[in-house]
């Protein structure tokens, strides 16, 4: 059995971002129920040199959006990093999901060996399409969703592994 580059990317990104949106909704409900200022959670960092919760969500969404667009060879939409509330963060994630749903397998499949050059601060990074997905986009997505999950758990939001993994049977 083989798996295509599309199957390993777009549906995985969409599933994890849907799970992230559900986690954000739980966090918003938790803040309201416990009378916690949502800004406290949204600005929280696990350690002073780490990015805040809001940035974890933005980067997770961007990992999926940029990874898919780069593999497909299209210009991704630009999302400003201005979200400061749970509804705004949820909207960012949902907007990313809607963007990902516009991709068709034929835009992604066949790009396994395609050279993709990414500008990075003072240099460029070069990947093959498959390597970009497996060694940058997916790990980046999982890292930032996990960090966001950890921030919320640290702050008492009742989340479990099932929230992270999402519903079974999909």
Residue 3 lies in a domain: no
Residue 25 lies in a domain: yes
pLDDT confidence band for 162 (50 / 70 / 90): very high
Rounded Cα–Cα distance for residues 84 and 73 (Å)? 31
Residue 97 lies in a domain: yes
Number of domains in the chain: 1
CATH code of residue 45: 1.20.120.450
pTM: 0.95
- What is the average per-residue pLDDT within 10-29? 98
Q: 79 is written with which tokens?
A: 């999302």
Q: Which domain holds residue 25?
A: 10-159
Residue 1 lies in a domain: no
Residue 167 lies in a domain: no
pLDDT, tens digit (0-9, with 9 covering 90-100), for 117-156: 998 888 999 999 999 999 999 999 999 999 999 999 999 9
| Per-residue pLDDT at 1 | 72
pLDDT, tens digit (0-9, with 9 covering 90-100), for 49-94: 999 999 999 999 999 999 999 999 999 999 999 999 999 999 999 9
What residues have CB less than 8 Å from 127, skipping those under 6 apart? 115, 116, 118, 135, 136
Q: Which residues of 96-105 are buried (b: 16+ CB within 10 A; e: fewer)?
A: bbebbeebee
């Amino acid at each position: 059995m083989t798996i295509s580059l599309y199957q390993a990317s777009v549906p995985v990104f969409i599933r994890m971002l849907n799970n992230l949106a559900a986690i954000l909704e739980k966090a918003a409900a938790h803040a309201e129920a416990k009378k916690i200022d949502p800004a406290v959670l949204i600005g929280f960092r696990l350690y002073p040199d780490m990015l805040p919760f809001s940035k974890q969500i933005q980067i997770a969404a961007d990992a999926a959006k940029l990874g898919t667009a780069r593999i497909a060879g299209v210009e991704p939409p630009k999302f400003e990093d201005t979200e400061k509330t749970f509804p705004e963060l949820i909207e960012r994630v949902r907007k990313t999901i809607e963007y990902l749903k516009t991709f068709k397998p034929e835009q992604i499949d066949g790009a396994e060996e395609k050279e993709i050059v990414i500008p990075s601060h003072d240099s460029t990074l070069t990947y093959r399409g498959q390597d970009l997905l497996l060694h940058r986009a997916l790990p980046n997505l999982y890292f930032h969703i996990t960090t966001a999950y950890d921030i919320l758990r640290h702050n008492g939001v009742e989340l479990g592994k099932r929230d992270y993994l999402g519903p079974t049977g999909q």
